[in-house]
Structure 1
Amino acid sequence: MLCVLALLSAIAPLATDMYLPGLPTMEKSLDTSTTSVQLTLTTFMAGLGIGQLVIGPLSDGLGRRKLLIGGTALCAVSGVLCAIAPSIGVLIAARLLQGFSGGAGIVLARAVIADRARGDVAARLFSIMMIIGGVAPVVAPLMGGALLGPIGWRGIFWVLAGAATVMLIGVLTLVPETLPAERRHGGGLTALVGNLRYVVTNRVFVGYAFTFAFGFGALFSYISASPFVAEHVLGLSPGQFSIVFAINSLGILAGSIVNTKLIGTFQPRQLLTFGVGLLVTSGALLTLATTIGGSRIWLVLPMMFGVVSSIGFIMGNATALAQGQVSEAAGTGSALMGACQFGLAAVVSPLVGIAGADTAVPMAIAILASGLIAMTSLKVLARAA
């Protein structure tokens, strides 16, 4: 079941990283602009945020399984719509639907674990889930780079539709209902508002949720800008970019593995503090490398690796610590975390390209700013934990 939940959570890296090598090709194929192509990332992330905000609270009243089945089925259908989109406008709309439906898997995977575990156990499970799901950002760009030539960017979306179908089969066969009827809060507006109030008034939860969201904001600043930085600034080919992206993604995997081993020896908050510190340090050095360092490849790539590696210490621990604060409304808490996470990603995506495709400075500044806000959230809002 944990493997299935990890794959459901991996819909974001699968649906972004696989087609990243094809963004410049899509720009030419659909006769559109760089900004318009990047909007396919923005709308997907916005959809993920909105979907989680709707589906998470509903699951506290209706249960997890039915919503998970419906969302995963719709994700497969939306993948087909992306594959056959005749224009950039249709593709943007289909990506919004793909994000909305994919949000079900992400928000409910977190809620299912929160239904079953607390404390160090939850932190370890979330970290293990990140290890399993961490294979996706490693494999996805390599697959995307390899498939782009033979089947094109449309073929990549057909592959994503097939992957969603496999996930649906996994949900149907391996994921039971984890929220029994006696623990549900009802589906009415009063219960929904009560759950939202319970979650948003918990300052410590908000602090951990912001740390989680801005950690992801730093990661997505890198994800959305990296194909253009790699090809236009560092001079790499699409194939070379796929390899570099996969190597950097190993940083998340390695960080998650180390984090899992250290839980029990160190508290999740201590490991989270280390991860945020690594993010801020790497972001600051990356900013220097892209400004006074002249964006030399041997300066930029190691700092990118440091940024990505820090995420392995941030996401799992922040999730467990936040969800532990609102265990009586795990779906609503998970939804708000996801809405912050992907809503922020939707804002970041066009900003990192605001100065054009020939500079890495906006990406570096966005990473550093996200890291500093994550650190402030941890130190100020979540200080009572």
Structure 2
Amino acid sequence: MARFALLLGLLAAFGPLSIDMYLPALPAIGVELGGGIAGAQLTLAAFFAGMAAGQLLHGPLADRFGRRPPLFAGLVGFILASLGCALAPDNGALTAARFLQAFAGCAGMVISRAVVRDLSDRMDPVRMMGRLMLVMGVAPILAPLLGGWVQAALGWRAIFFFLAGVGALALVLCALFLPETLPGAQRRAEGVAGALRSYGRLLRDRRFQAAALPGALAIMGMFAYIAGSPFVFIELHGVPAERYGLLFGGAAAGIIGASQLAGRLAALWGREALMTRALGVLAVVALLLLAATALGGALPLIYAPVWLYVALMGLVLPMAGVLSIQPFPQMAGTASALMGTMQFALGAVAGTAISALHDGTGFPMAGMIALAAVLALLARLALRPREA
């Protein structure tokens, strides 16, 4: 089962790896392609938008044709789009290629969560999600460090050649070791209209709303941090690009630690209560970050609440994933896709807002994080089941 978790974790890590590895290169990309830091941040927002749009397609396809065919198609598309990113002549081309890279690559994220649901009768889904978070957590730790080193040695374009190689490796491993987990009798013979009806049913279901919406709002704050931290850490506080990964990876290590506690805390308090409490602490931490920014705090005072916010996502994300998908065994892929679409659509909003509001200070990042966390808590309190 450990090897299986590693493979699913690799698929689920495509998003974090593709985002985080090029973060240290954003200032250099802005200079070389002429878009400045705001233009480079737009390539990140385009990636979030591609993630949001792609999951709407991959989820229904995975429920209709099984897990393997859509996954293989997505991995091939990811490889080709990564090569397009590496060869992009200007900021517009890179933005378009990043959208396509995300649109294809998000198949791994959708299908890995659906596979966990497929096998929930053989394993504890919360603990399995925690294992996925453990594997996924390695990507944000290593990716910025590796990206900084690759950029320093070979230039930022080599980062995307590396990602194409990761996609090729995942394609081979999945072909060899990932079995089909959705039997033919359980597949949904629906077209686009049927998928839209399924999305509508999910959006009207309070169980889905109470987990997916607060989770998406919370992760919007993390995406604001991802989009804003290269400027805040590197440009504003003078952290060298090759050392940015140490700060980013330190926060990602917090996700790993928290995610390994998720199963135990869920058993102690219950899944619903754990999510509500985690979101309450998240809102307090985000407001502390906003206060530290307003007071002109030094880097340690900014980094401490950022670290706590990111670490708490190791509790929020597994709970949001399980509570959003578990009640819907016949459309786990569709539920997984819609949840991911909500998360990355709000991520695109955060990335675009960070770019548009760029004013040479840390306020755009801190303000978006605080807004996201407070809205997440309010949504959870309004929608949560009574027993939570």
Asked if TM exceeds 0.5, the reply is yes
Unaligned runs of 5+ in 1: none
Deviations, residues 344-371 of structure 1 (Å, cap 9, x unaligned): 1011012124343521112111111111
Aligned to 1:228: 231
Per mean C-alpha deviation after superposition, the further-off stretch among 364-373 and 308-317 is: 364-373
Deviations, residues 123-177 of structure 1 (Å, cap 9, x unaligned): 1111111011110000101101111111111001111111111111121111111
Aligned to 2:138: 135
User: Structure 1 vs Structure 2: percent identity of aligned residues?
Assistant: 34
Aligned to 2:319: 317
User: Residue 332 of structure 1 is aligned with which of 334, 343, 350?
Assistant: 334
The question of 1:378 aligning with 2:380 is answered yes
Cα–Cα, structure 1 residues 359 and 295, in superposed 2: closer, same or farther, change >3 Å? farther
Aligned to 1:348: 350
Aligned to 1:111: 114
The question of 1:290 aligning with 2:293 is answered yes
User: Residue 146 of structure 1 is aligned with which of 146, 149, 172?
Assistant: 149
- Check conservation: 2:60, 2:334, Cα contact below 8 A: yes
- TM (norm. structure 1) is 0.96
Which aligned pairs between 1:184-263 and structure 2 lie closer than 5 A? Answer: 184-263=187-266
The question of 1:5 aligning with 2:22 is answered no
- Check conservation: 2:126, 2:262, Cα contact below 8 A: no
Cα–Cα, structure 1 residues 171 and 54, in superposed 2: closer, same or farther, change >3 Å? same
Q: CA deviation at 1:189?
A: 4.0
User: Residue 184 of structure 2 is aligned with which of 159, 163, 181?
Assistant: 181
For residues 342 and 206 of structure 1, the distance between their equivalents in structure 2, rounded to whole angstroms, comes to 16
Aligned to 2:371: 369
Deviations, residues 161-215 of structure 1 (Å, cap 9, x unaligned): 1111111112111111111111112033453244223322211211200122112
The question of 1:74 aligning with 2:77 is answered yes
Cα–Cα, structure 1 residues 185 and 365, in superposed 2: closer, same or farther, change >3 Å? same
Which amino acid counterpart does residue 97 of structure 1 have in structure 2?
A: L
Which amino acid counterpart does residue 177 of structure 2 have in structure 1?
A: L
- TM (norm. structure 2) is 0.95
Per mean C-alpha deviation after superposition, the further-off stretch among 132-141 and 265-274 is: 265-274
Which amino acid counterpart does residue 252 of structure 2 have in structure 1?
A: S
- Check conservation: 1:323, 1:333, Cα contact below 8 A: yes
Aligned to 2:306: 304
> SS at 2:155's partner residue?
helix
- Check conservation: 2:141, 2:245, Cα contact below 8 A: no
Aligned to 2:31: 28
For residues 203 and 268 of structure 1, the distance between their equivalents in structure 2, rounded to whole angstroms, comes to 16
Cα–Cα, structure 1 residues 120 and 2, in superposed 2: closer, same or farther, change >3 Å? closer
Cα–Cα, structure 1 residues 384 and 62, in superposed 2: closer, same or farther, change >3 Å? farther
For residues 339 and 119 of structure 1, the distance between their equivalents in structure 2, rounded to whole angstroms, comes to 28
For residues 195 and 350 of structure 1, the distance between their equivalents in structure 2, rounded to whole angstroms, comes to 29
For residues 245 and 328 of structure 2, the distance between their equivalents in structure 1, rounded to whole angstroms, comes to 39
- Check conservation: 2:18, 2:163, Cα contact below 8 A: yes
> SS at 1:187's partner residue?
coil
- Check conservation: 2:152, 2:242, Cα contact below 8 A: no
Cα–Cα, structure 1 residues 118 and 276, in superposed 2: closer, same or farther, change >3 Å? farther
For residues 350 and 264 of structure 1, the distance between their equivalents in structure 2, rounded to whole angstroms, comes to 38
Q: CA deviation at 1:88?
A: 1.2
For residues 362 and 291 of structure 2, the distance between their equivalents in structure 1, rounded to whole angstroms, comes to 11
* Cα RMSD after superposing both structures: 1.7
Which amino acid counterpart does residue 245 of structure 1 have in structure 2?
A: F
- Check conservation: 2:42, 2:355, Cα contact below 8 A: no
- Check conservation: 1:207, 1:381, Cα contact below 8 A: yes
Aligned to 2:68: 65
User: Residue 168 of structure 2 is aligned with which of 141, 144, 165?
Assistant: 165
- Check conservation: 1:130, 1:256, Cα contact below 8 A: yes
Q: CA deviation at 1:384?
A: 4.5
Which aligned pairs between 1:27-66 and structure 2 lie closer than 5 A? Answer: 27-66=30-69
Which amino acid counterpart does residue 359 of structure 1 have in structure 2?
A: T
Cα–Cα, structure 1 residues 207 and 262, in superposed 2: closer, same or farther, change >3 Å? closer
